[in-house]
Amino acid sequence: MQKNLVIVESPAKAKTIEKFLGADYKVLSSYGHIRDLKEKGLGVDVNNNFKPEYVISPDKEALVKSLKKASKEAETVWLASDEDREGEAISWHLSEVLGLNPKASKRIVFHEITKNAILNAIEHPRDIDANLVDAQQARRVLDRIVGFELSPILWKKIMPSLSAGRVQSVAVRLIVEREREITRFNAENFFKVTAVFVLPDGKSLLKAELNERFKTEKEAQAFLESLIGATFTIEDINTRPGKKSPAPPFTTSTLQQEASRKIGFSVSQTMAVAQKLYEAGFITYMRTDSLNLSNLALGAAKKEITIEFGEKYLNIHQYHTKSKGAQEAHEAIRPTYLESRTIKASAQEQKLYELIWKRTIASQMADAETERTTVTVGISADSGLKFLANGEVIKFDGFLRVYREDIDDETADETTEGLLPPVKTGEKLALDEAAAAEKQTQRPFRYTEASLVRKLEELGIGRPSTYAPTISTIQQRGYVEKGNREGESRDFTTLTLKNSKISRKVKSEIVGFDKGKLLPTDSGIIVTDFLTEKFPRVLDYNFTANLEKDFDKIADGEIKWTDTLHQFYDGFHPVVEKVSAERKEHKVGERNLGTDPKTGKPVSVKIGRFGPFVQIGSADDEEKPQFASLAKGQSMETVTLEEVLKLFDLPRTVGEIGGKTVTAAVGRFGPYLKIDSSFVSIPKGYNPHTITIEEAEKLFAEKKEKEAKKLLKSFAEDGDLQVLNGRYGPYICYKKANYKIPKGQKPEALTYDEAMKIVNEAPEKKPAKRASARGRGKK
């Protein structure tokens, strides 16, 4: 009989733990959750105090059988899943399904996979925490109810295949509202004046900015004119000490944000890499909102900083978690062994580990000491306006020796401060140049994955374990996409005063360009509007945050999980029934744009099974309505009548090539040109509405040349048989099936009989297997 059986939730974690335990311990993995709410129906007995109806996942039945066998053969079963609520629920489900004897099973938790942590956990086992399990059940059941009851309404009122989620819908609302803020934003122009002064030594330059901005070019022109012949004097030099403090060690959300800014990881990528680091024993548990570091970690940090940088760089202190519901773990994310600056792992794992190591060490280092200086330059024309020059010098680098935190667009400051030349009060300066540049007020910034995480955390929506799944889900469901916005060209004026003369130049710049930002899709906007109107409570930020607080109270044993469910459901279900029974003349999201000048029929944009489309006419007309899909980049909310009418200009006759008609059209995969049954995609830079016959000839010629290079040999005996040059080298193509050419045979020299022999003797191809979905909750 096996003395001890340890069950964890991932095979990688099992492999690492097994190294620390002797032959008396066998470590197996449950591969995440072994059971979940049944998929058919609600999976919750609402009339029986919200009793969950759990079933073993079909892909876990064989695993459960083997775990049952192993557990019966062991004297003691140790349940060692993660220490958060999800991990507690996994242990509870294992205990229930495997029928474990409470006297012969123990729950152990640890927030790092090291030998000391594992042995310490075994010395201090505990029972399964029913409160943590209830908190997880409350979230799971409530989210199932919301999805199950709202999704059919979306299918009925908007279009099939839509779905709603409690936290996900709120996240989409944030992105939709930000997009509308940007659409409504009216930029205001102003003129910013800067100047370069020459110091008395005739060499040194002082750059400064005027302490006021002008609304019009006329005002800026008048000011520059007032500088001609004026004298400039240093009126004041204000020097004051300052300090910069290090950021605390990483929580889940700050790691996700910083990994996005510094190494370009997506939120889900960060969590996947962090999971690997944790399971390999390199870092502590990665789902946490605690800023705490253990005494052992603080001691290791002290030793590392003292040896590497000296005692003056040391400033050990404990950070306190501001998050009221901090509960996911007992410590911040840190390396398990701070003396290890690097690890042997994949490139991605090394990058993330280095980031975590630097942040942890820097959090225990001294403040950086700075000296900030502001020089005020007076103007002889007594207008009350001053030029200000700011500079900052780092007197002691402190934690900056190791780590400097990055910032998002929203918190970025245009001002760059460096060293200032030596100056004295009363010194006269000569004006070298002054410039007034036309600027615009900054529109709101679109969310990145990182800044959305920060916003969700700020609002108290979600917890460390939910940020990454939420952001992945809203993209997978097609409500949000990560994409780019091209931006627009803007002309701006610059006035420059040099040698007592003012010159004027008009330049251009691109404004509004965005890369890799979260953008709402038409379906995301329509679903958000519908849910906000009909279910304002579910989409309310405060309500969602308060539910999170209720889950925290359940975890602390302050309230019953079923009471929270009753309170929610009693207010939610009647609204579902009411909305479901409502009838509307128009589909949700339909927008009337006006009248088609050619037919006099109404033009509207709608959303259907295959996405947004334009309709001319109505179903009641004798003639069938005309339809056209919106082009890429067009939005139902902002598209104009003029823009959608152009969609009906296609397909368009471009001209003739060799006596055959060439047409331009837009299809499922974008714009294209067609001659008979031959097609060529219209590349970026060309427009299907304006492309010329000369440009079309060029595109078809390029395609023909490319295909000629691809065709190595054809056979008069059978037109379906060809030898082609592909991405991975030459191959045979016969009746739309591809065949590998054996080594040693020259493709160009193949005869018809040899080629057909390869085709006929090729092994029969098996149908491609569909990828099976991973078990829910697999970590």
Active-site positions read 285
Tell which residue, 293, 254, 153, 159, has the closest CA to residue 576.
Answer: 153
58 to 113, 141, 308, 487, 631: CA distances (angstroms): 30, 20, 54, 50, 42
- Residue-wise DSSP of 547-607: HHHHHHHHHTTSS-HHHHHHHHHHHHHHHHHHHHH---SS-TT-EEEEE-TTT--EEEEEE
Question: CA-CA distance, 652 to 59, in Å (whole number)?
Answer: 53
Q: How many CB atoms lie within 10 A of CB 601?
A: 16
Q: Identify whether the C-beta of residue 422 lies closer than 8 Å to the C-beta of residue 239.
A: no
Question: CA-CA distance, 696 to 688, in Å (whole number)?
Answer: 10
Q: What is the CA radius of gyration of the chain?
A: 34
Q: Identify whether the C-beta of residue 289 lies closer than 8 Å to the C-beta of residue 323.
A: yes
Token output for 501: 């003369």
Helix H or strand E encompassing 269: helix 267-279
Residues 6+ positions from 413 with CB-CB distance below 8 Å: none
Q: Identify whether the C-beta of residue 195 lies closer than 8 Å to the C-beta of residue 433.
A: yes
Residue 216 half-sphere exposure toward CB, CA atoms < 13 A? 3
Q: Identify whether the C-beta of residue 11 lies closer than 8 Å to the C-beta of residue 29.
A: yes
Token output for 286: 């990665």
Q: How many CB atoms lie within 10 A of CB 266?
A: 20
- Residue-wise DSSP of 599-668: T--EEEEEEETTEEEEEES-TTSSSPPEEEEPPTT--TTT--HHHHHHHTT-SEEEEEETTEEEEEEEET
- Residue-wise DSSP of 707-759: HHHHEEEE-TT-TTEEEEEETTEEEEEETTEEEEPPTT--GGG--HHHHHHHH
The amino acid at 727: R
Token output for 141: 């059941």
Q: Identify whether the C-beta of residue 627 lies closer than 8 Å to the C-beta of residue 615.
A: yes
State whether the Cα torsion 290-291-294-296 is positive or negative.
positive
Question: CA-CA distance, 775 to 757, in Å (whole number)?
Answer: 45
Question: CA-CA distance, 159 to 156, in Å (whole number)?
Answer: 6
Cis link prior to 625 (omega < 30° from 0)? Answer: no
Token output for 711: 């065709």
Question: CA-CA distance, 289 to 249, in Å (whole number)?
Answer: 10
Question: CA-CA distance, 345 to 335, in Å (whole number)?
Answer: 14
Residue with tokens 């123990």: 106
User: How many angstroms from the chain centroid is the CA of residue 88?
Assistant: 28
Across-strand partners of 661?
656
